[in-house]
Amino acid sequence: MSGPGPTRAEHGDHGARARGRGGVADGFGGRLAEAMSARGPLCVGIDPHPGLLQAWGLPADPVGLERFALTCVEALAGEVAAVKPQSAFFEAYGARGIAVLERVIAETRSGGALVVLDAKRGDIGSTMAAYAAAYLADGAPLAADAVTLSPYLGFGSLTPALDAAAVAGRGVFVLARTSNPEGAEVQRAVTESGSSVAQAVVDAAAERNAGASPMGGVGVVVGATVGDSGLDLTRLNGPILAPGLGAQGATAADLRRVFGAATPWVLPTSSRDVLRHGPDATALRAAAARVRDELVADR
Ligand SMILES: O=c1ccn([C@@H]2O[C@H](COP(=O)(O)O)[C@@H](O)[C@H]2O)c(=O)[nH]1
């Protein structure tokens, strides 16, 4: 992956893990850049919707959930750059669902794909520290390579999670311009400084990534569906998670239109459009490979 280099002087030690030690990119930004370069720019979401469980001939209970999720891991962990379990679908089954999510995270990572846990957490700083302990601390049962965060209690409230991620070499994706049509009303609103709320999120993430190479670990979420986002992503120096491919209507060809020069930093993610090819693991893997190949061809 290539793109603009560092845009600001290094500050603090946020960039230390991102730069890597001994020449090895051990921060999330570096690991994701390597994974995208080796396996192509695709993240597949594991979203065990009850309707999909039924379509796969599985019961909508913890046993069906486990079978579904581990089939996805078997099919995808050796194939794609990243896998994105949607936490809500696991939480719906209580403690047994969380136990399945723990296995999904552990087995995906041992299979070689990075795990982006889609949990969209956001709270006051003191509670964010607890979320950081849950998702970003070494040894935590639900620790992922990266977690999605919501900045709508103020970007600064996320600081404990951003600090914990930097220390552990993990990453975050902060919601900026989401793929759903309802997001625009809040995210395109103009702040006191004259930029949109979404741009303010991107700019705050860029500050955290300053000086990191090949890119920092503070990513943003910008939907592949948003059309002309009006965002300047050129100084982000971090990854852009782009949901909305397939089931929400976006295509590989839309990505260049939406992201322009920032396309090399984009990690498109698709869930239902790939998952509908199950329950056969070979068919699932082939579906993911087709989407990935289309993305590569359109870059
Ligand atoms: O802006 C956003 C942020 C997150 N999502 C999540 O991504 C998947 C999309 O699933 P599809 O089946 O590919 O539509 C889902 O887990 C969402 O919660 C998003 O869609 N948009």
Dump the DSSP string for 64-98.
Answer: HHHHHHHHHHHHHTTTSSEEEEBHHHHHTTHHHHH
155 is a domain residue: yes
Q: How far is the CA of 168 from the centre of ligand 1 (A)?
A: 26
Amino acid at 261: A
189, HSE (Cβ side, Cα atoms, 13 Å) = 8
Rounded Cα distance, 240 and 20, in Å: 20
172 and 158 in contact (C-beta within 8 Å)?
A: yes
Confidence of residue 36 (pLDDT cuts 50, 70, 90): very high
What's the pLDDT at 299? Answer: 84
Band (pLDDT 50/70/90 cuts) for residue 225 is: very high
**Scanning the structure block, which residue is given the tokens 């849950």?**
134
Q: What is the pLDDT of residues 175-199, one digit of tens each?
A: 999 999 999 999 999 999 999 999 9
Measured between alpha carbons, how far is 74 from 45 in angstroms, rounded to an integer?
A: 14
Q: What average pLDDT does this structure show over 122-149?
A: 98
* CA separation for the pair 46, 210 (Å, rounded): 32
Q: Which has more confidence, 24 or 246? A: 246
Q: Are the beta carbons of 53 and 64 closer than 8 angstroms?
A: yes
**Which pLDDT does position 192 carry in this prediction?**
94
Mean pLDDT, residues 94-114 taken together: 98
Instruction: Using pLDDT thresholds of 50, 70 and 90, give the confidence band for residue 26.
Output: confident
- What does the pLDDT average to over 265-270? 98
pLDDT at position 14, please?
A: 40
Per-residue pLDDT, 4: 32
Tokens of 79: 């194939």
Computed over every residue of the chain, the mean pLDDT equals 92
The ligand 1 atom nearest the CA atom of 223: 1
Per-residue pLDDT band for 49 (boundaries 50, 70, 90) equals: very high
Do 177 and 200 contact (CB within 8 A), yes or no? no
pLDDT band for 83, please (50, 70, 90 cuts).
very high
The verdict on residue 59 lying in a domain is yes
Calpha distance 137→55 (Å, rounded): 36
Distances (CA, A) of 8 to 4, 11, 96, 122, 167: 11, 9, 46, 27, 20
Q: Can you tell me the ipTM of this complex?
A: 0.99
Question: How many whole angstroms from 244 Cα to the centroid of ligand 1?
Answer: 6
Q: Of 13-17, 118-122, 257-261, which gets the smallest average pLDDT?
A: 13-17
Q: What are phi and psi of 250, to 5 degrees?
A: -80, 150
**Count of structural domains within the chain:** 1
4 found inside a domain: no
Which residue has the least CA distance to atom 7 on ligand 1?
243
* Contact 179 CB / ligand 1 (< 6 Å): yes
Determine the residue of 72, 115, 150, 271 to mutate for testing ligand 1's pocket, defined as the one with the most ligand atoms within 8 A of the Cβ atom. Answer: 271
Give residue 47's pLDDT. Answer: 98
Do the domain assignments include residue 273? yes
Query: In this structure, what CATH number is given to the domain that contains residue 109?
Result: 3.20.20.70
Of all protein residues, the one whose alpha carbon is nearest to atom 19 of ligand 1 is 243
| Structural domain that includes position 45 | 29-297
Least confident of 15-19, 23-27, 139-143, 227-231: 15-19
Assess whether pLDDT exceeds 50 at residue 134. yes
* Å from CA of 45 to ligand 1 middle: 8
- Residue 21's pLDDT band, with cuts at 50, 70 and 90, is very low
Burial of 57 by CB count in 10 Å (0-12 exposed, 13-18 middle, 19+ buried)? exposed
Do 26 and 252 touch, CB atoms closer than 8 A? no
Q: Is residue 245 part of a domain?
A: yes
pLDDT at 233 over 70: yes
211-223: b (≥16 Cβ within 10 Å) or e: bbbbbbbbbbbbb
Q: Is residue 135 included in any domain, yes or no?
A: yes
272 Cβ below 6 A of ligand 1: yes
Ligand 1 site, residue 187, Cβ cutoff 6 A: no
Q: Helix 281-297 vs helix 62-76: angle between axes, to the nearest 10 degrees?
A: 50
Overall average pLDDT of the 225-254 stretch? 96
Domain assignment present for 23: no
What pLDDT score does 25 carry?
56
Mean pLDDT computed over 244-264: 96
* Residue to probe by mutation, ligand 1, list 86, 276, 277, most atoms within 8 Å of CB: 86
Ligand 1, atom 4, residue with closest C-alpha: 243
Confirm whether 7 is domain-assigned. Answer: no
Pocket test for ligand 1, best of 72, 80, 152, 179 (most atoms within 8 A of CB): 179
**What 3-state DSSP class applies to 9?**
coil
Say how many Å lie between the CA of residue 211 and the centre of ligand 1: 30
How far apart are the CA of 264 and the centre of ligand 1, in A?
20
Q: Is 84 a catalytic residue?
A: no
Asked if residue 69 lies in contact with residue 77, where contact means CB atoms within 8 angstroms, the answer is: no
What letter would DSSP give residue 24?
B
The contacts of residue 186 (CB under 8 Å, 6+ apart) are: 152, 197
Angle between helices 94-111 and 62-76 (to 10 degrees): 10
Confidence bin at 5 (pLDDT 50/70/90): very low
Q: What is the pLDDT of residue 94?
A: 98
Span 122-128, average pLDDT: 98
- Provide the phi-psi class of 100: left if phi over 0, else alpha when psi is between -120 and 50, else beta: alpha
